[in-house]
A and B are shown apart, each in its own frame.
Chain A
């Protein structure tokens, strides 16, 4: 059993173009393809239902993937997880390290190498070989964000070693038998062993569910393996993505930029050059900041996640995720940069960088396809909470506090909706039951949605108080808290945010300790508006003012409208609308 340190890997996520496979009738292929995705989805649902942590269930921070025998991604869960796990290079890396002869039915390999999976140690992935009629025909993988992985809690780590337990690739299950040594090591190194080991077992359950269903799928369809299907699926997907790129973005070279907050107040630049040619895209982050001594580095797999995500939204949202879908897109970043750091760089807070890559990409395309993109969003704060309950039992969990989602060309932004990363909140009634804290208030921030013909979505405030006799460690991580999310095409920026402890500002991403009675307040940014505010529909503005989402002062200052006169104007306008509508209606007849 080779047990190696995670070493610096140079994963190339984008494969070469797939070879031409055996012909499948489009209808048969649709049926088989759907069935395959369903098998993956079933496994994902099994994980959700058996998981123990809010990160997985509420945050949907997990994924399930199916690979063919060469390690090409064939299908990923479609509807459940929060992001495409499509960029994991774990299977390909494992194929480099393990002799296929060493893999037996009933084996499950585990690792949390941030350069393979989702970019930090909290993400544990398990991979199982898929056997059919005694032949190795593919691999299945599931990964999820663990509520805790040990490591430094009271300060800011400078190396991945300080960030928690490093799990080299090893067999967590061998021939169907759990590796007791592994589970004992895991339990001893995390703060909430019951939760973490249960979640690892939930991931393994997901693999079992898929293993069983895959065998019956193959025998039912008399397929001797996945190769032909894999080729056909990837071919179709690749062609669809190429067409999507051709149809939605004109050829050319586009440059965009964004930034994230480093530590000590300095901003770190993200530069992107996008080359669109002949149905393919190269997304190059050359010129971006060098890797940080702090854990905001985004490994290349994670850089891929958010780059590919936003490209898919723009070009080809409906085609399922697989290696073919993303084959036309190449993502590169210089080694040693913030977006491709070198081991043992600290990476724990990778979302603080990764979540802003879509902004740079949208920035590059904002003049090319203005009608298809949205103004900058307020993202969300990830809030890690760790401490002890009254009975002394440790808890550690992560909650999400959403900012606004930016205005679109023709629609307002959305209030408190995470973009790009999707997740959900946890009910206050559940939160207060599971942790010794009390939420004092939580709501929309007035005027945080940037003014515009289409208004940005509002961010939120959330204030909570520690009720714990033990210290409560809170680390709220946003990444770009101090910068107002920009508007687009004449729309104004939304409000910036801030994290506060007892009214005093605390630095983003830096842990603080609360004692009983301390109050933490999170103000999450809103989002940008699109087009000039004075073009906003008067009735929409009037409703915003009535609803308290836009203050009277802002209505006057940014929209140039006096609220005192509004009801009469709205009434006139509404009447005019009714008259116009009636006229149109009559015209039709």
Chain B
């Protein structure tokens, strides 16, 4: 890599649960270097600094030449999941002490009598009621009892509280009481970090707002400690770049902003992966993408339309039960929408003598892990099936760092699936592979259908340890014709961070029927959000003139409980905008539900503004030093392909040795350190200069089950 350049280098660092990934980009030359280290949960900052020193040294880049530093960490998420955050108190309107405990009074699984619910972040004993009350319009019914707030502040100090979440009823309509509470707390208990709900997420719905605010408060002290350490260490190391933090919405914010709103840092890693997906898709001319990230326990799927990842306004942290919706803590934060299902390499297959069969969502995890790991696991997993079928090489798993035991995989499949179901081992192993693929494909299909989209119009982008092994069949299942396997998939997130613009989403909940919207109030909401957002972006180094604003309205028919987001045309808000809202809402609604409801009035529930700084311009120029395909051939091994109904001798290639323009035909296996690309018969694979692989599925619609049932019918006739 170049020793130095006028525009310097950008460095992305992603701390994950197991590994910390590094991506170093030469901003002029377009070359990229990557690195990977085991995460040291005991001392995150030192680990990061060691990794930085290493990658800079390897590439002979002086620390002072790093001009952009973007960082994402699972610290906030892990603190929430493991309940290792600050000692946090909760302040709430008199009469509503149990808001956090009672949650939505709902079970996420109706048949499980042994059900557990996520425990609240704040115990009841640290919840304090405040004398005050607003009505639904935000008018004061009971004035704030400031003396009582003061006394409460003293109690908090006595109780050794480090952080406070304040969530008063209807404060999203009128923040004055919450702001006054915050002021008093800052005066009386200056050491305590205060988060108020009208600032963190001014949206209607007291439980979700309280839960989000509590989470923000809960992770503020640990995030602040970590970031302060990191900033000091970076300065000492001589980097001049102020670190930017990656958010769940796929933007970056300054460290100061991150310390105020650390709840925005959850799920930043996956957001980076989605940005990288979008980037690689765009460079190859594909704007409609489904990202497919399959790891050890779950698969994550995200839909990208016209080059823009789908957004959502809620996320659930730390689901306690089989990744079930509703079993985690709800957080109202802007996120790149992702569905996560319990399907990964470790998903366990089970079959019984009644002929019942299934894969997941239970996972063998890393310990005991799949049977083939030889760590004592005895249940057959997806990885075991993949190994048995020849998709994985027992001596080249993780680049050969971990030997796999095919005999143990086989025994587990026989014992728990083939024998009870009276199937051949081959059929059982293929069945495991097929069913887990179908579970993922169905999830993707529903996700598209909910938006009125057809999965067939998309390109699948596969990464994660197991993604490339399964992508081909998932694509076939969905009727997708093109699959992209991006290069350096192992550090997708860290690279994605370098593509993120500074960004911050804000919202104002002010429900009104569309025809009765108070235009002046809406203009004021947007003016306020823009002023606040611009200030936040400026702290991330963005000039006011560079800020771009996307405005949206959350709209529904009166009485409904879920909204669709529609974007607003440019310009000061006028009646014309309201007409545009109606048109756009109806178009979206019709696409999803095949009808509209002209007699029911529309209602705008909230307005939101996404403010963005300039998108970093990244163009990779890497002449990949591979040779032509013949030289990349590692050998042949028996691999099962359903279209041949048998194991056939299949060519195995070294991905790194493929050069620009290399072209292969399925069936083929292409190995790299972190994963293995498996492509079936009748597909064409091309490698580009960055070592991305693009697969075109030429033959065959539909999937194996469909074909088989069709065949059966033919036989019967």
A residues in contact (CB < 8 Å) with B: 25-32, 34-35, 38, 41-42, 45-46, 48-54, 57-58, 79, 82-83, 194-195, 198, 201, 205, 208-209, 213, 220-224, 236, 239-240, 243, 309, 312-314, 317-319, 372-374, 400, 402, 405, 408, 410-411, 414-419, 422-425, 427-430, 432-433, 438-444, 460, 463, 543, 546-549
Contacts and interface: CB of A to CB of B under 8 A. Distances in A.
B522 interface: no
B354 A38 contact: no
A423 B108 CA distance: 10
A443 B435 contact: no
Contacts of B83: none
A441 B95 contact: yes
B96 A198 contact: no
A35 B442 contact: yes
Nearest to A57: B561
B688 to A, nearest CB: 34
Contacts of A547: 123-125
Interface in B665-707: 702, 705-706
B357 A429 contact: no
Given A26-B351, A27-B357, A198-B597, A414 B115 contact: yes
Among B204, B206, B207, B560, max chain A CB count under 10 A is at: B560
B545 interface: no
B343 to A, nearest CB: 12
Contacts of B6: none
A27 B427 contact: yes
Interface residues of B, number: 77
Contacts of A318: 111
B134 to A, nearest CB: 10
A39 B706 CA distance: 16
25 contacts: A27-B430, A27-B435, A29-B357, A31-B438, A31-B705, A32-B709, A34-B439, A54-B561, A57-B560, A83-B110, A194-B600, A213-B449, A410-B114, A411-B116, A415-B101, A416-B105, A423-B106, A427-B204, A427-B206, A438-B135, A441-B94, A442-B96, A443-B95, A444-B98, A460-B102
Contact of B113 (A49, A408, A543): A408
A116 B172 CA distance: 45
A2 to B, nearest CB: 29
Contacts of B106: 417, 422-425
A208 B594 contact: yes
A25 B102 contact: no
A38 B442 contact: yes
Nearest to A213: B449
A38 B446 contact: yes
Interface in B417-456: 421, 423, 427-428, 430-431, 434-435, 438-439, 442, 445-446, 449-450
Nearest to A403: B105
B354 A548 contact: no
A239 B354 CA distance: 7
B442 A417 contact: no
Contacts of B325: 79
Contacts of B95: 439-443, 463
Contacts of A463: 95
Contacts of B97: 443
A30 B710 contact: no
Contacts of B597: 50, 198, 201
Among A31, A42, A422, A424, max chain B CB count under 10 A is at: A31
B279 interface: no
B170 interface: yes
Contact of B96 (A53, A414, A422, A443): A443
B117 interface: yes
B559 interface: yes
A31 B559 contact: no
Contacts of A208: 594
Contacts of B706: 220-222
B599 interface: yes
Contacts of A429: 136, 169-170, 172, 204-206
B573 interface: no
B562 A422 contact: no
> 3 tightest A-B contacts by CB?
A441-B95, A27-B431, A317-B111
Given A243-B354, A374-B113, A440-B95, 17 more contacts: A26-B421, A27-B430, A45-B450, A46-B592, A46-B593, A49-B562, A53-B559, A79-B325, A198-B597, A205-B593, A236-B354, A405-B107, A416-B102, A417-B105, A432-B170, A442-B95, A546-B123
B105 A433 contact: no
A546 B125 CA distance: 6
Given A221-B709, A443-B97, A58 B560 contact: no
Contact of B710 (A25, A221, A372, A549): A221
Nearest to A436: B136
B401 interface: no
A48 B562 contact: yes
Contact of A198 (B207, B557, B592): B557
B595 interface: yes
Among A27, A46, A209, A414, max chain B CB count under 10 A is at: A27
Interface of B is mostly: loop
A49 B111 contact: no
B18 to A, nearest CB: 24
B511 interface: yes
B513 to A, nearest CB: 11
Contacts of A373: 113
B203 to A, nearest CB: 9
B158 interface: no
Nearest to A205: B593
A41 B125 CA distance: 41
Contacts of B82: none
A546 B450 CA distance: 46
Contacts of A53: 559
A428 B105 CA distance: 13
Given A221-B710, A236-B355, A372-B113, A427 B423 contact: no
B160 to A, nearest CB: 14
B438 A428 contact: no
B644 interface: no
B566 to A, nearest CB: 15
Contacts of B43: none
A414 B117 contact: yes
Contacts of A29: 355, 357
Interface in B165-193: 169-170, 172
B713 interface: yes
B104 interface: yes
A35 B438 contact: yes
B560 A49 contact: yes
A548 B449 CA distance: 48
Contacts of B592: 46, 49
Contacts of A414: 107, 115, 117
A312 B206 CA distance: 35
Given A27-B357, A49-B560, A427-B205, A198 B600 contact: yes
A242 to B, nearest CB: 9
B124 A240 contact: no
A278 B356 CA distance: 20
Among B113, B446, B595, max chain A CB count under 10 A is at: B113
A195 B559 contact: yes
B708 interface: yes
Contact of B105 (A38, A45, A309, A400): A400
Contacts of A432: 135-136, 170
Contacts of B712: 222
A51 B557 CA distance: 9
Nearest to A220: B706
A26 B356 contact: yes
Contacts of B169: 428-429
